[in-house]
A and B are shown apart, each in its own frame.
Chain A
Amino acid sequence: MATSTTAVPSAGPVAGSRSFLSRLRDGDEIARLITFLFAASVVLITLLLVFELWQGSVLPRHKFGFSFFRTSVWDPIFDQFGALPFIYGTLVTAGVALIIAVPLGIGAAIFLAELAPARISDTLEFFIDLLAAVPSVIYGLLGVFIVVPLMREYIQPGLKNTLGFLPLFQGPAYGVGFLTAGIVLAIMVIPYIISVSREVLLSVPRDQREAALSLGSTRWESTWKVVVPFARGGIMGSIFLALARALGETMAVTMVIGNTPTISASLFSPGYSIAAVIANEFTEATGAMYTQSLIELGLVLFILTFVLNGFARLLIVATSQRGAGMGHT
């Protein structure tokens, strides 16, 4: 490599074809090597991330083992750490978010994919994409100053008066809490459900719809009984994606969940989530056990999102390919 590049300059452009060619080959090989190093660094960074999370949480993993997930005492002074309230808060807020976001998101996706003319659909999709780009701290800001007062003054009292017999809607209306965090999360994940579901619905072959319509079904029947079942896998994928986002979401949840580690049947109760406790306590964590317990929570989040994202991608790819495969026959 070095010899050929030093030998060539004197020869100029009319050099013998062999050395000219080998110099070009050298250029290719160098480019391949350099770009390979960049690509390999992505793998390296990811492996390092997993390693750091694993290595960084070694103390609590050995000391508490599985009881880390089952106990709810979080006491930095006596080095006792149990993550149950945080896990509970994360799951409950994500659950509330999905209950609200899934029907709305899928409904909107059906409208965009099945009903709206292409131009309107694309314009709305453009707005949905912009919505997905709004940073979470902005959702948090609106959550704190708009949603929380709204919940405290109107929605929570209203729910208590109508559905107050359910344990879900009892207790004082603080404004902050599981329900508020769930609603803010729902608003945040709806764009993801719409975008992915719309894409999947659009990949359903045309003849599926036409067959249903020609058999005399109404527009809604063809959509709901033929097109949606066809795209079921991909829609499930979009829900898993949204769930992964909701579980890992930090800022907006931290700002409206109330930051109190509680396990309560009432959705009005203030709570805490995994991401929120990391955000609030990481900088002030003193002592190895405290810091490492927070890192273990990070590891839990990582594993949860890893599994959900992997699952989602499989479902979406499988459904899109099914559509493409049918389209050709």
Chain B
Amino acid sequence: MSPRLRWRKFVSGFMLTMTGVCAVVAVAVLFFILGYLVYHGGTSISWNFFTKLPAPVGETGGGMANAIVGSAKLLLLATLIGVPIGFFGAIYLAEFSGGTIAFVVRYAADLLNGVPSIVIGIFAFTLVVQPFKHFSTLAGGFALGLMMIPITLRSTEEFLRAVPRALREGAMALGASKWKTISTVIVPAAYRGILTAILLAFARVAGETAPLLFTALGNRFWSPGWNQPTASLPAMIYTYAIAPYEDWHRQAWAAGLVLLGLILVINIVARAILSRGIAVPRS
């Protein structure tokens, strides 16, 4: 082997090893994050965390029950706004629309998807908070719902399009109307994909903090109804992490563990649902 060739082989082996190192480093970050959260959060999580209100400033103890309920309410509202628009909009795109309108809708959805979440917060503020003159669960849910729309829309459309042509034609040949075909054949055939899309959109907004800062604001007490400021888990993590109290830091870790656990579980479930379904292209 000439020295030149030996050198080239060495470079090849070295660089390829380096790419492997890059991949390992990138993936290791996930386990670092998980490890730290379990280490710090696991020791501070307790029954009180789920059942008690935050303790008054300066006192230790208390929990985040109001933030957990607040997050649930916000996410319920977000789902009610984001899923129907995304789902039915996707049916229109995949089944009814012509070229131009579909292009405009897709373009708008991609645009909306790329908008930084803090800007979505400003939008929800000017649209919902300013007219009603106060921060509310409603405004926060609206902001999160907006973020769910493009994710649900684009992936649902992909999955609807992936339904084999033969199924569609079979239903039509039996004399079913277009709507009947969609509701009894196409959507059921794509339901795993659609469920995955909705779950991933849900997981994505569940951890969003920036759009909640000036829509749902925050609250140290229960927030009755839909028209008052409400606490939420992500916003609580932010407030507690930058506060100067040791006990709050402990609770921020616990909240982080709960939030990340929830999001990762939803992600894994969503992918598991999909992988057991029909073969469909990734969006």
Interface positions of A (Cβ within 8 A of B): 24-25, 27-28, 30-32, 34-36, 38-43, 45-49, 52-53, 56, 103-108, 110-112, 114-116, 124, 126-131, 133-142, 144-146, 187, 190-191, 194, 218-221, 223-224, 244, 247-251, 254-255, 275, 278-279, 282-283, 294-295, 298, 301-302, 305-306, 309, 313
Contact = CB atoms under 8 A, between A and B. Distances in A.
Interface in B106-121: 108-112, 114-121
Contacts of B150: 42
Given A128-B27, A137-B234, A140-B238, A282 B214 contact: yes
B161 interface: no
Contacts of B114: 244, 305-306, 309
Nearest to B8: A218
Nearest to B29: A187
Contacts of A254: 238
Contacts of A218: 8-9, 11-12
6 contacts: A25-B177, A28-B178, A129-B271, A131-B33, A134-B260, A278-B121
A220 B15 contact: yes
Contact of B213 (A42, A124, A279, A295): A279
B85 interface: yes
B116 A275 contact: yes
Interface in B199-244: 200, 203-204, 206-210, 213-214, 217, 234, 237-238, 241-242
Contacts of A194: 23, 26
B146 interface: yes
B259 A135 contact: yes
Say what secondary structure dominates the interface of chain B. helix
Contacts of B101: 36, 39
Contact of B112 (A42, A124, A248, A294): A42
B36 A53 contact: no
B116 A247 contact: yes
Contact of B12 (A25, A126, A191, A221): A221
B126 A38 contact: no
B210 A28 contact: no
Given A32-B92, A140-B241, 6 more contacts: A133-B207, A138-B37, A218-B9, A275-B116, A275-B118, A301-B116
Contacts of B30: 127, 130-131, 134
Among A40, A46, A116, A218, find the residue whose CB has the most chain B CB atoms closer than 10 A: A46
B65 interface: no
A290 B120 CA distance: 19
A115 B242 CA distance: 43
Contacts of B85: 38, 41-42
Interface in B58-75: none
Contacts of B164: none
Interface in B123-152: 123, 125-127, 146, 149-150
B282 to A, nearest CB: 8
Interface residues of B, number: 90
B105 interface: yes
A35 B23 contact: no
A49 B249 CA distance: 36
Contacts of A278: 118, 121-122
A255 B207 contact: no
A126 B270 CA distance: 12
B72 to A, nearest CB: 16
B84 interface: yes
Interface in B179-209: 179-180, 182, 200, 203-204, 206-209
A53 B123 contact: yes
A42 B153 contact: yes
Contacts of B217: 283
A300 B111 CA distance: 15
A137 to B, nearest CB: 4
Contacts of A309: 110-111, 114
A131 B23 CA distance: 13
Nearest to B177: A24
A127 B177 contact: no
B260 A41 contact: no
Contact of B89 (A41, A105, A145): A41
A112 B21 CA distance: 11
A28 B179 contact: yes
A130 B267 contact: yes
